[in-house]
Amino acid sequence: MTAKLTGLGREIWRNRAGYLFIAPGYLAFVVFMLIPLAAAAGLSFYKASFVIDQRQFVGLEQYARLFRDAKFQKALVNTIKYVLVVVPVTLGLSLMISLLVHPRGIRAQSFYRGAFYLPGVAGGVILSVVWLWIFNPTFGLLNYLLGLVGIEPVLWLASTKTSFWAVSMVVLTFTIGQPIILFLAGLANLNQDILDACVVDGANNWQRTWFVTLPLLRPVILFVIATQTIGVFQIWETIYMLTEGGPSNSSTSLVFLIYQTAFIAGRYGKASAIGVVLLILVAIVTFGQLRLWDRTEV
């Protein structure tokens, strides 16, 4: 055992230059991720405000109360709904667009990459401001278009029936760009010999796409699903800009509830407990996706 440790120490010393290069990244991860995560997990067992001396240890009572909280239950259901709605639509649209763009020339591909990726660069806050004007019930573009076909104006952000779908639509506009980039890269790296063999065997475009292209893209598809799922679990700026979780919490999410609980209500212990629940939920979903990824045949 001692010999193994000594050998490990010699190996680390031999590669010390490499470890020095990666040390800043790991240090930032520990300082800004692991330590705050551990602090939040510990704080979740306390009834705490911004005054440190007023902390009161309550143990698991914080979590028990949390799951009896109707607002938390609504935020949890909405968060899962956002994932179930936005991720599949993003996956389907980005894959379809990539399959349509890929056969075109390099210049056309570059144009479409930039066009679809630009909203993601702009960010959720800027796009939310633009969509606020589009959703405006009086002079918004969306209601104007509906009026052209005789449909009455809709209170997109002020109705419990439409606020969730309005937020989902906005989130979709800035999440679709990255998957398109990834799918186009995956399509460019496919084995052309296999696709040519399908043509020789008489397969049509639909058969080549369904039975050859999509199976070969499976690792990219699973990666897109995993990253998009984690991203959608964390949405809050769009909700903050458009609806502030309303009306009647119909569009709130867990991350937005954390913001409200901690920075508006000043209940940091409860907010930490919500964060721990969200972490566990994301970990379970991600672990399931990674297990599926491990079974992928490349």
% helix / strand / coil in the chain, to the nearest 5?
Answer: 75, 0, 25
Q: Please name the residues in contact with 258: beta carbons below 8 A apart, sequence gap of 6 or more.
A: 236, 271, 274, 275, 278
pLDDT at 242: 92
Question: Average pLDDT, stretch 274-297?
Answer: 82
- Token output for 43: 């704080």
Residue 8 lies in a domain: no
Where are the alpha helices (H) located in 123-154, listed in sequence order? 124-134, 141-148
Residue type, 63: Y
Residue 37 lies in a domain: no
Evaluate whether 232 touches 87 at the Cβ level (below 8 Å): yes
Q: What confidence category does residue 298 fall into, taking pLDDT thresholds of 50, 70 and 90?
A: very low
Q: Which residues pair with 46 in a beta bridge?
A: 57
Evaluate whether 177 touches 118 at the Cβ level (below 8 Å): yes
Q: Give the CA angle between residues 80, 86, 90 to the nearest 5°.
A: 145
Q: What is the pTM of this model?
A: 0.86
Domain range spanning residue 281?
53-294
Evaluate whether 124 touches 238 at the Cβ level (below 8 Å): yes
Handedness of CA 288, 282, 129, 126 (dihedral sign): negative
For residue 57, give the DSSP letter. E
Handedness of CA 184, 188, 189, 190 (dihedral sign): positive
Residue 7 lies in a domain: no
C-alpha span between 112 and 169 (Å, rounded):
20
Question: Structurally, how many domains does the chain consist of?
Answer: 1
Residue 86 lies in a domain: yes
The pLDDT tens digits for 241-263 are 999 888 888 999 999 999 999 88
The pLDDT tens digits for 89-130 are 999 999 999 988 888 878 888 888 888 888 878 778 888 899
The pLDDT tens digits for 202-218 are 777 787 878 888 888 88
The pLDDT tens digits for 10-31 are 777 777 787 888 888 889 989 9
Residue 118 lies in a domain: yes
Residue 42 lies in a domain: no
C-alpha span between 101 and 103 (Å, rounded):
6
CATH number of 97's domain: 1.10.3720.10
C-alpha span between 233 and 254 (Å, rounded):
8
Q: Which residues pair with 222 in a beta bridge?
A: none
Residue 9 lies in a domain: no
- Token output for 98: 């990539």
- Token output for 16: 């010390």
Residue 33 lies in a domain: no
